Chain A
């Protein structure tokens, strides 16, 4: 009885697969005829790509000369990617100069708490709040020519010259330090040291890290480009699929 049900399950599964394959085939032929494109669903998995450019825009709309990535665009998309069963993984491409602390940390926390495999690639620059965003993924890559600037948080607007102002600063900075040290191999102490280093930046405290230095300091996992990032993402997707399949096999037996 048990054996029988197993067989029918197998058959059903197979027939389901073939119809799915057929519909996918006709769909792709139609897409090719209509638009000259092919769907990007390969047997390796279906991935989505999120590009973060310019300033991270949060609670305030920035003047129009700024190029921005808005958190109200990104956050619902991350939810959709996590929830959509047809999407297997996320590639995060970063080229950002920083921006709103809260918006940046919100996006970074969202990515860090996703169950699907995620890979980030820093190209050009991943400065300031771009650092926590880069480390939020399962695995991170940086191009050799890319840089990351790590510096203390500056406060804009009215500042009252009281000790509490410094305390407030330190607390805001702590959020970034904690997130980065939790999600990468760098220690809290080392990251703070880089943040408060003098003699590197002309008018500021902080450090500029080249791709290789960012890897050496443990902020980023690996040096690489698009092909490395994609193959790592597919590797993570495959590993996750294998785990799920093994678990399913376990419950069947």
Chain B
């Protein structure tokens, strides 16, 4: 793989282990992509074990205006 970017490799791949350890919570942070209300969204699990919308992946403009799809909304 060739990365063509202005970001240095060490900040992309986190070579520094001390940073890695403090970021353990971050590395356990996983997201899932699902279809909700007909639109593709990225969700993550919140502390109270509920799925929360992280971002809208759909390109449809009306998806962004739908309050039910706003990032931060908990799914039932």
Contacts and interface: CB of A to CB of B under 8 A. Distances in A.
A52 B61 CA distance: 15
Contacts of B26: 64-65
Interface in A174-229: 176
A98 B7 contact: yes
Nearest to B30: A64
Interface residues of A, number: 42
B1 A73 contact: no
Interface string A52-64: 0001001110111
B33 A97 contact: no
A123 B61 CA distance: 18
Contacts of A155: 2
B58 to A, nearest CB: 8
Interface string B1-22: 1111111010011100000000
Most buried by A among B3, B6, B58: B3
Nearest to B27: A64
Contacts of B29: 64
A104 interface: yes
A50 interface: yes
6 contacts: A36-B67, A63-B13, A65-B14, A77-B40, A101-B3, A153-B4
